[in-house]
Amino acid sequence: MKYLIVAVAATVLASACSQQHSASTPPTASAQPAPLGSGIELQYIDDSVRLQDDFYQHVNGKWLASFQIPPDKVSYDPWDKLVDDAREQARAIIEGLQKHADPADPDQQKIADLYATFMDEAAVEKLGVTPLAKEFAAIDALKDKQQIAALIAHFNLIGVPAPFSPQVHQDAKDATRYVYDLGQDGLGLPDRDYYLQNDAKLKQARDQYLKHVESMLKLAGDSNAADEARQIFALETALAKVQWTKVDNRNPVKTYNKYEFAKLAKLAPGFDWPAYLKASGVAGATDYLVIKQPSYMTSFAALLASTPLPVWKTYFRWHLLSDLAPYLPKAFVDENFAFYGTALSDVPQNRPRWKRGVGLVEVSMGEALGKIYVARYFPPESKARMDQLVKNLLAAYREDIDKLDWMSPDTKQKAQEKLAKFTPKIGYPVTWRDYSALSTTHDDLMGNVLAARVFESNRNLKKLGKPIDRNEWFMTPQTVNAYYNPEMNEIVFPAAVLRPPLFNPAADDAVNYGSIGSVIGHEISHGFDDEGSQYDGNGNLLGTPGWFTKDDYKRFKAKTSMLVAQYSAREPVPGFHVNGELTLGENIADNSGLAIAYKAYQISRGGKPAPVLDGLSGDQRFYMGFTHIWMQKIRTNEAILEMKTDPHSPEPLRGLLPLMNQPAFYEAFGIKPGDKMYLPPEKRVSLW
């Protein structure tokens, strides 16, 4: 995305003029607020590219040609500008608390402690790897494989990768209660494809990973690091072979497999389930689990039996060391970054230490920090304007559902019922998280890190058996993102995302509906995409065809199959096509969100014509605002990694392909047959 430099400069200039005016002549009662600008960054338009042939390149071309990705980033877009701004604001808050923490608010001192212990590099260097000595000793003390169950439970508790990891959330088949589910995990490379596919870049990543494991083990004092690295890689490859693909894992029905405790022994023979359930704290809190990938758990048990105990010890030692490397001396930090930052994603330089310190506070006490952030940086008028935007988007959906020509009355009624139960959450939670059970010190970084992780694990475990907390947020207010949760049937927009360029208070509605409006529409659309449509308005998983009739679902599938083909045909990196099945849900949301945002924009005008600003009509500014927010530069290896692991399509495609499916876009810019942006009507995908 792209920061609206022109709009911000205009705001600053208006402020300066206002101050000068007040110094020379008193303001009059008739003074009017400054008119809203277009919000379009005209300086980035590349007139050498016809918009009818490549709208994305035309609108963003000069920025794409001139901008250099910062050395500590994998990519850069306007979202990253928002992240940078929010991080600077968080830093100002944290460093202020180090000087003046409020004694009446214990959380403020805990934030200061977390940050201070991370920033004390001298203390970290002095301790070396001794902060992990107790954890290493527990691994070394394993006498037989039966004890591995309790070790995995401990790793789950402290947030270190193990062959499987838990999640506490709403039960998809009973949205009134929480469930503890287990899913495949435990790989050091980003995805199973990195172990199993023979593309040259993936093979190179495997070679680099093997060397990285060896180097890290040597730093930790292992005398047999080369052999141990090969053992770890062989075990992880065996795990990768039996893991499910990311496409399989998108299926909410296939990944919902309820197992009473008594049946777990048959699922994974030889694994000490009673020991795991007791050590994890689940025994007594519930009487069943949900297993996302049952065949993987069976295969894991077989690998547990066939792999010697010393290899498992080395495997667990490696994952502990790798996961906690950011909190160890510089040699570990640098080696960890050399692989996960540079080798995998082409990033030449690690983030400054203060940014990493802010990140630690974010993941450890994000809402405590967010409470201060909201009070300081999120004005009430921004929330009020956003509330109205959301209302218009929901109104556009209500109207649109009734007009759909491919959906029967029965399905329309179900869709309206679900929409009526949507819960929008804007800016910040109504109740803040309680951190009173978390203790920190001013001189123990690793102790603070592990304490924060255990606190979060226990906070989630305590949900089991309790009523659903529908006020809970799963992002902090200072997070630059948004989400739809099908189990809560809610859309959530943190405060930090509600700033330029996504939401620009100094700009006309057209660009705001094209930018933040399309993002809001995107999140609402997830309630009706190929996954979301399988949940009812209360958050219960119905399965396929969900609340569609069978005939309507066939029509829906026909449309979404066209979308899969559209995106799968694209090859952003030579040899690497977009996975249209993996990205289907997000592609549906991108296309539907844009369509609904356009209709909401028409509603907002109330029948009045849009002003022409910067020589552009309202519709033109709407679509340009949409394409602006997906402007991105990205490193090649990172682009490959994201295509393997990310359910979103590459951002340049997100800012281009949805336009080609929108009839109003063709009218706004005179797109005709023969133009490269032109798709024949029968090839356009229109869902909403």
What is the percent of the chain with per-residue pLDDT over 70, rounded to a whole number? 95
Q: Once rounded to an integer, what is the mean pLDDT over residues 435-450?
A: 97
Tens digits of residue pLDDT in 143-161: 999 999 999 999 999 999 9
Structural domain contains residue 493: no
The reply to whether 403 and 297 lie within a common domain is no
If asked whether residues 565 and 664 sit together in one domain, one would say yes
Tokens 């022109």 sit on residue? 6
Residue type, 497: V
What pTM was computed for the model? 0.90
For the residues 52-79, what does the mean pLDDT come to?
97
CA dihedral 620, 626, 629, 634 (to 10 degrees): -100
Both tokens of 364, joined, read 């450890």
Q: Are 475 and 492 in contact (CB under 8 A)?
A: yes
Q: Kindly state whether residues 288 and 402 are assigned to the same domain.
A: no
pLDDT class for 25, splitting at 50, 70, 90? very low
Q: Which amino acid is at 81?
A: K
- What's residue 48's pLDDT? 97
Percent of the chain at pLDDT exceeding 90: 92
CA–CA separation, 413 vs 359, rounded Å?
45
Q: Kindly report the average pLDDT of the chain as a whole number.
A: 93
The answer to whether residue 26 is domain-embedded is yes
User: What's the pLDDT score for residue 201?
Assistant: 94
Domain assignment present for residue 582? The answer is: yes
Say yes or no: 403 and 298 in one domain: no
The answer, yes or no, to whether residue 688 has pLDDT greater than 90, is no
Query: In this predicted model, what pLDDT tens digit does every residue of 608-664 receive, in sequence order?
Result: 999 999 999 999 999 999 999 999 999 999 999 999 999 999 999 999 999 999 999
Is residue 604 a part of any domain in this protein?
yes
pLDDT of 11 reads: 26
Helix (H) or strand (E) holding 136: helix 133-140
pLDDT at 32: 56
Partnered with residue 37 across adjacent β-strands are 507
Is 534 a member of any domain?
Answer: yes
Which region, left, alpha or beta, applies to residue 389 given φ > 0 means left and ψ of -120 to 50 means alpha? Answer: alpha
Kindly report the CATH number assigned to the domain that includes residue 677. Answer: 3.40.390.10
Within a domain: residue 94?
no
589 assigned to some structural domain: yes
Last residue of a domain, one of 327, 354, 378: 327
Query: Domain containing 161 — which CATH number?
Result: 1.10.1380.10
Which tens digits make up the pLDDT trace of 111-132?
999 999 999 999 999 999 999 9
Per-residue pLDDT reduced to its tens digit, 386-403:
888 899 999 999 999 999
pLDDT tens profile 80-116: 999 999 999 999 999 999 999 999 999 999 999 999 9
The answer for residues whose C-beta is within 8 angstroms of residue 224's C-beta and 6 or more apart is none
Per the structure block, which two tokens stand in for 561?
Answer: 């199959």
Domain edge (last residue) among 306, 327, 348? 327
- Rounded to an integer, the average pLDDT of 173-191 is 97
Radius of gyration of the chain measured on its C-alpha atoms: 26
One domain, residues 18 and 156 = no
Last residue of a domain, one of 281, 310, 327: 327
Pairing of strands 490-494, 423-427: parallel
Same domain, 158 and 61: no
Of the candidates 568, 672, 514, 579, the one whose C-alpha atom is nearest the C-alpha of residue 197 is 579
| pLDDT band for position 375 (cuts 50, 70, 90) | very high
In this structure, are 322 and 392 located in the same domain?
A: no
Provide the token pair at 439: 């203790």
Pair (541, 651) in one structural domain: yes
Q: Under a CB-based contact definition with an 8 Å cutoff, are residues 394 and 448 in contact?
A: no
Q: Residue 33's pLDDT is what?
A: 61
Nearest alpha-carbon partner for 453 in 160, 141, 31, 116: 160
What is d(CA 425, CA 233) in angstroms, rounded to the nearest whole number? 44
Structural domain that includes position 635: 1-67+388-420+499-688
Q: Report pLDDT for 598.
A: 97
Are 168 and 32 contained in the same domain? no
Number of domains in the chain: 2
Asked, for residue 459, whether it belongs to a domain, the answer is no
